[in-house]
Amino acid sequence: MKLSKRIQTVEGSKTARFIPLLDALKRQGRSVISMAIGEPADDTPAPVIDATKRALDRQQTRYSDMAGLIDLRNALAGRFAGCGQDNIVVFNGSKQALYTIFQCICDPGDQVIIPVPCWVSFAEQVKLAGGEPVFVATADHQLDVDAMAAAVSDKTKAILINSPNNPTGAVYPRQDLERIARLAIQHDLMVIADEAYDFFVYDNLPRSSFYDLETVRDRLIITRSFSKHYAMTGFRVGYAVAPSAVATAMIRLQSHLTGNVCTFAQHGAMAALEMNDGLLIQRRADLQRKRDLAFDQVSGLFPCIRPQGAFYLFPDISGHLHQGETSGDFATRILEKSGVAVVPGEDFGMDGHVRICFAAPDDQLLAAFKRIREVL
Ligand code: GLU
């Protein structure tokens, strides 16, 4: 059987592969500590669980509007000045939102500028849409806007910005977002802003969303998620905020793809929005404390830039590589010898590093670093 050329050029998700891999190791009786997959260890909030159960009891088990429940879209639109429900589309996680965006904006050969290191799915999603990812290096994990400007060509369609960043935890300052906005306007490009971790910014740094920049809104698509903030990764609810013409195109694709997002999961998401910000503020404080704990541990082992947001460390492990070893080999060595799972930096386009998720219980964090230290 011959598979399409399209799927042959695409690799499976390098982060998601850890889910079955670690399950298999645990079933073999191995003692595994996962710091690989990016998900919070917290419980899903009780109001979300209750609302989902109530939705099931009320038989909210049928198709819903393909763009998302009207009440959910209205509630989301209310959080973005000048937005209406026509600007909001609910997806099965922001991962599907991003996939859909590239399908809707890329023609074959169109280029999308992506700062690296970057989340594993961006490039593959651009390729699935027939586009070409154009990687631009960052400097100490911050944007190199001059290099991004130099990468613009007559094929450039969009610039993709992910802040707080996965895998580095970098948060880009507003003046850099403004420079990117000016670049996009000057060259008539779209801006895609993946803001899946938008609330998780530490040390009282300002939370800068691209949406704050009014001049760019007519060419801006934002994706956000319930997964990380509300520990709802399995619910698969995320959304995009987009100009209405783009939103309409995305809904057209959705109508042939998944139809709506699970109806009762959307009721759970609505309950999350109805909660006041107290829970998020508390989770952010707890993650900042974990960031400090994990940063303290990692700094004793490897050079590492202190993350300002999200929940990842991205240390430079190059000083501990055996001859010829890549970050992938290193991660395999650590997993085999210590049972601690981390994601190789090469999967994010930056070898010599690994990504460590610190959204784990404290005792696991400490145990994981102890095991890594022993292997080293
Ligand atoms: N976004 C998370 C991560 O980077 C979950 C897995 C995935 O979708 O990539 O680990």
Q: Which tens digit of pLDDT belongs to each residue from 249-268?
A: 999 999 999 999 999 999 99
Residue nearest to atom 5 of ligand 1 (CA): 38
Residue nearest to atom 3 of ligand 1 (CA): 38
Q: Is residue 54 part of a domain?
A: no
**35 plus 68 within the same structural domain:** no
Question: Quick one: tokens of 21?
Answer: 């891999």
Distance 317 CA to ligand 1 centre (A): 21
Q: Is residue 50 part of a domain?
A: no
Final residue of a domain: which of 241, 256, 274? 274
Number of domains in the chain: 2
Q: Which segments of the chain have a pLDDT < 50?
A: none
**30 plus 76 within the same structural domain:** no
| Cα-Cα end-to-end distance for the chain | 45
Q: What local confidence, expressed as pLDDT, does residue 25 receive?
A: 87
Burial of residue 218 (number of CB atoms within 10 Å: 0-12, 13-18, 19+):
exposed
Alpha carbon separation from 238 to 33, 252, 266 (Å, rounded):
27, 17, 10
Final residue of a domain: which of 274, 309, 336? 274
For CA atoms 82, 163, 235, 268, give the dihedral sign.
Answer: negative
Q: Is residue 95 part of a domain?
A: yes
Distance 212 CA to ligand 1 centre (A): 26
Q: What local confidence, expressed as pLDDT, does residue 23 receive?
A: 87
**184 plus 312 within the same structural domain:** no
- Helix, strand, coil percentages in the chain from 3-state DSSP, rounded to 5: 45, 15, 40
Final residue of a domain: which of 245, 274, 303? 274
Distance 182 CA to ligand 1 centre (A): 30
Distance CA(120)–CA(178), nearest Å, equals 26
Q: Tell me which of 11, 22, 39, 228 to substitute to probe ligand 1's pocket, judged by most ligand atoms within 8 Å of the beta carbon.
A: 39
Distance CA(246)–CA(218), nearest Å, equals 10
Q: 114 is in which domain, residue-wise? A: 60-274
Which ligand 1 atom lies nearest to the CA of residue 120? 9
**218 plus 100 within the same structural domain:** yes
Q: What local confidence, expressed as pLDDT, does residue 209 receive?
A: 93
Q: What local confidence, expressed as pLDDT, does residue 281 receive?
A: 97
Which ligand 1 atom lies nearest to the CA of residue 166? 4
Q: What local confidence, expressed as pLDDT, does residue 18 receive?
A: 86
Distance 186 CA to ligand 1 centre (A): 33
Q: What local confidence, expressed as pLDDT, does residue 210 receive?
A: 94
Distance 15 CA to ligand 1 centre (A): 5
Q: What local confidence, expressed as pLDDT, does residue 38 receive?
A: 95
Q: Is residue 53 part of a domain?
A: no
Residues with CB under 6 A from ligand 1: 13, 15-16, 37-38, 95, 119-121, 166
Q: What pTM, to 2 d.p., does this model score?
A: 0.96
**39 plus 81 within the same structural domain:** no
**144 plus 288 within the same structural domain:** no
Distance CA(105)–CA(107), nearest Å, equals 7
Which ligand 1 atom lies nearest to the CA of residue 121? 9
The neighbouring-strand residues paired with 89 are 240
Q: What local confidence, expressed as pLDDT, does residue 109 receive?
A: 95
Q: What is the CATH number of the domain that holds 318?
A: 3.90.1150.10
